[in-house]
Structure 1
Amino acid sequence: MVSGNAEVGGGDPRVPIRVLLADDEHLIRGALAALLALEDDLAIVAEAASGPEALAMAGAHRPDVAVLDLQMPGADGVRVAAALRDAVPECRSMIVTSHGRPGHLKRALAAGVRGFVPKTASAEQLAEIIRTVHGGSRYVDPELAADAISAGDSPLSAREAELLELAADGAPVAEIARRASLTQGTVRNYLSAAAAKLGAENRHAAARMARERGWI
């Protein structure tokens, strides 16, 4: 398998691709690490269970490719990828997710993510995509790409999306205002505008709609 994929991975085929795995589900992460370790040209150099841990592990081990779960404690995979672009620029990032909504894909591409893959992919497919990403190419699941094209762009401003995300767990306006360093009146105005854009009856419904579409 190594000789057949050496050109895809690029560089010296005798030097394995250094991979960071980040997923808060320990069983999935462990199983994936074991399966990918069977590939002669891949080396799992670090594992992480949260966004902050992924950033720390990447800084310590300088992987070639970071395979990031979309939804992790502390920071999601897209935010980690955006941070890695500056902190470890030689590391290419890819997202593996069971929540592949159109808005997530667009956020990921904007953050510099090179691969976007559903968790239904086999370990063999994932290994091939890691090689593709390491070689400088991009891979996006075809179904997710088609959904993203048909869904259109988010109508929310960056601030509206930020405040809806803070509202998504049911936090009161006072708490949202404190966390966003805004007045309560300003927060209400932003949330009302976001709800109006989405045709939602209140901020909670708006947050739910935005999350379902991958806009937050």
Structure 2
Amino acid sequence: MFKQYARDLKDSEYKRKQLRAAIFFGIGVIIFTIVAGLLFKQSPERPPAGRMEIASDFPDGVWFNTAEPISLFMELKGHVIVILFNDFNTLSDLEDLNRLCDLDSTFSDQPIACVIVSVGNSPAATDSLVEQWQIEFPVLADPEWEAMNCFSVSALPAVLVIDTASRVSSRYYEDWHLVPLEALLQDLLEQGISTRSLSGTRYQPVTGSFSDNRTEPSNGGNDD
């Protein structure tokens, strides 16, 4: 009887150890899933090495804070470019704008250009947005999501970083303003120097607004 009791006790202890191991394993899986989710949420979507995609260009439309349309392959050739796509429907979107201002200020003496695409907003609404939020960057009104589709943007807010060869270096989505982009931009500037593709001057847009021939200028525009 004593031997049977000892065996039962040993089996019971073994089962308790198995149960504890299973519980700890389950907790570990949950913690790993949460941490991995946070990391992937803030990690950039980058093309495979050696296969960086050539960026599309901005479609025709109404521009603000520039008297001419802007092209990645002309006005911004040789620049590192940060493009912010947003609909600016909430006050929290100010964080995106403030982060963009910080980046622009950090590299104010370098050929880095920041451009905003106002997604889903009419030219009139975009004009009002630029004035109320005191946006100083070139802004393209994108009421029909043309620019968003051209650049294959799948969610908002989104940020695309373009290198000096007009290739998409990185894509960021939600919480992009928490990502330390300074190191990436500095690296792209140095790559531009080494490949001799970096522009020698920083693009300065001419003050004003621009509308292509197919689009009526907004009533509140800044056309001279």
| TM-score, normalising length: structure 1 | 0.29
Larger gyration radius, structure 1 or structure 2: 2
| TM-score, normalising length: structure 2 | 0.29
Which structure would you say has the larger RCO, counting Cα contacts within 8 Å and 6 or more residues apart?
A: 2
More helix by share: 1
